[in-house]
Amino acid sequence: MADKASLVEVLLDIQKELSHAKASATNPHFKSQYVPFEALWDYAKENLNAHGVLIQQLSMSARSGRVLRLCFTAAAKRSALAR
């Protein structure tokens, strides 16, 4: 399993490659453009998957009710798994 430092390095490499997600929807109340969550998720997931980063959304209990926790895990290199 990759350590925290290598996960940060991978995330930094991904960040260097990404540009802003394109606004593709209009808020009917304010008439402003925004990026829908689904579009942002697909955009991020494609790039994270290409670098071997797993994304997990975990639902958890909290004092205020339920919360969603987003976790990132860097996959081990394939060559390391083959040993």
Q: Mean pLDDT of residues grouped by 10 in the chain (83 residues)?
A: 74 92 94 94 89 90 91 68 39
Q: Is 17 left (phi over 0), alpha (psi -120 to 50) or beta?
A: alpha
Token pair, residue 81, equals 């798994």
pLDDT value of residue 70: 85
Q: What's the pLDDT score for residue 75?
A: 81
Q: Which of 80, 60, 55, 82 is nearest to 70 (CA)?
A: 55
- Whether the predicted model's global pTM rises above the 0.75 cut: no
23: three-class secondary structure by DSSP: coil
